Amino acid sequence: MEASRRDLVGIAIGGLGAVGVIGVLYPIVKTLAPSAASLAGAVVEVDINSIPEGQVRVVSWKGKPVFVIKLPQGFQWSGKVREGNNSKLLQGQSVFTMIAVCTHLGCVPLWKPQGEAEYNYPVFHCPCHGGFYSPWGDIIAGPPPRPLYLPPQKVEGGKLIIGEAGFIKELT
Ligand code: FES
């Protein structure tokens, strides 16, 4: 009789403990879980008119920084790339976006509209290990193994829409 009462008390305490653990863990697990938007493929809209020509804005898409680039009218670029197809994929687009994460070890490159080091034309420079990218994210020099990634994107109604298929249909 005494033993079964002890059992009951033990079960009750164990149950309360389990509720407490779940109560503590639930908010943590909820925080770590990807948001519904990121699972569904987040869409971010950027007002093109709010970006001055020749400048780059950094916004967040699916938890990653992305560059939104607005090239000046009639932009000419005199550099040479070592590798990459981005400029062909983005041909004719004066506003576009690229994932702002260096494909070498993940630093965020810097936009240098006046050029940098021996490159006297606009480049993205990744100072971590000396990576250089063209304004379209193709590789000029350094250790990056591939061009910057391009998210799906389109232009509609004065907005760049990141995350919807358009002139780039899927992550490339
Ligand atoms: S992380 Fe960019 S060059 Fe190494």
pLDDT in tens, 46-76: 999 999 999 999 999 999 999 999 999 999 9
CB 69 within 8 A of CB 97: yes
Tokens of 118: 């021996």
Question: Please, what is the Cα angle at 115 between 98 and 66, to 5 degrees?
Answer: 15
- CA–centroid distance, 39 to ligand 1, in Å, is 28
Q: Are the C-beta atoms of 140 and 122 separated by less than 8 Å?
A: no
pLDDT band at 14 (very low <50, low <70, confident <90, very high): low
Centre of ligand 1 from the C-alpha of residue 66, in Å:
16
Is the whole model's pTM more than 0.75, yes or no? Answer: yes
Rounded CA gap, 45 and 100, in Å?
A: 17
Pocket of ligand 1 (CB under 6 A): 102, 104-107, 126, 128-129, 131, 142-144
Model confidence pLDDT, tens digit, residues 87-135: 999 999 999 999 999 999 999 999 999 999 999 999 999 999 999 999 9
Probe ligand 1: pick from 82, 99, 102, 116, max atoms within 8 Å of CB? 102
Q: How far is the CA of 120 from the centre of ligand 1 (A)?
A: 20
Q: So where are the chain's domains?
A: 2-33, 39-162
Class of 39-162 in CATH: mainly beta
Q: Cα 130–135–140 angle (5° rounding)? A: 40
Mutate to test the pocket of ligand 1, among 82, 105, 132, 139 (most ligand atoms within 8 A of CB): 105
> Is the pLDDT score of 18 beyond 60?
no
Q: Nearest residue CA, atom 1 of ligand 1?
A: 105
Cα–Cα distance, 150 to 109 (Å, whole number): 15
